[in-house]
Amino acid sequence: MVSAGPHSPLMGGDKSAAAPSPEAAAGSSVNVSGERAVSQNVVAELLGAFQTISFTELGFAELGDVGGRLGGTLGSSRRLCEAGPGDRRCWFHGDICDSHFVKLLFETEKIDIVLHFAAQTHVDLSFVRAFEFTYVNVYGTHVLVSAAHEARVEKFIYVSTDEVYGGSLDKEFDESSPKQPTNPYASSKAAAECFVQSYWERYKFPVVITRSSNVYGPHQYPEKVIPKFISLLQHNRKCCIHGSGLQTRNFLYATDVVEAFLTVLKKGKPGEIYNIGTNFEMSVIQLAKELIQLIKETNSESEMENWVDYVNDRPTNDMRYPMKSEKILGLGWRPKVPWKEGIKKTIEWYRENFHNWKNVEKALEPFPV
């Protein structure tokens, strides 16, 4: 199941130290909640091992063909499609903040494993809609983990963010570093972590928390920096840079992050936190110039500057999020997709699919609030 709610721009005992094998999982159902760039790939990978994937979206994705593919809401059950022969997927349209719906879903679908991606994630928006972020990200997570606990699911994976650490110019964060979030989005994710972790501390309910670097790849909504810059340039518009553009971010391709989640699903220990990071780091201005080179086919510094528009910075904008990822590396995970390969695939996907997004113009503004 991929869970979510209408607020998103989209999606005891320890009996689960490892995920079931494909053979053992023949009757298992998985709940995956969230971010399209990652969750679609997670679902695709899980289909080979698990008989049923049910998923609930925070709201319909802006891709124009989603309504047609899913067929609209079918009655009070909110089931959006009936699985065909051999199809192990099933979608439900619901809200993670609707405790009655979530509880009923767990009771009727017999879910064994939860991967919870669903959240409000746009940092810019969080500054002006902080209460909404708190409601969806904190209350919604509490609803979901509570229902999962009552249903005695075998493992609950909560997908958090490197932003809970706050920024650092030099010190690398490991999983024991204190949480010092500096924006409402990161604060809501940090608070949600506390609720999730409390279910392990109090009930020994098998939860696992992940904190990943920035994800990029196909299917990501254009409010995020990479698809935003790509989309702007492909429509002959300038990349909007917050502040100096010297802030750096670590970028992981979507399929590498998917492999990380599957590794945690299979090998992650209940009660633990895993950083999912990469040594590949790039400033926002460098990112813009690389995309300008690839899309506008120019290496001229002056020409590249013509495609950049410097705008006011966010109220707070952390310079770096350096993380240590030794724990998940110890489980055997490694990022595999080089930047040049991943970014070319991403550019090509948006070239072919951007027209399918609906109501995307607002997302391309410097501060889409």
> Would you please indicate which residues are annotated as catalytic (active-site) residues?
162-163, 185
Task: Report the alpha-carbon distance of residue 261 to residue 176 in Å, rounded.
Answer: 20
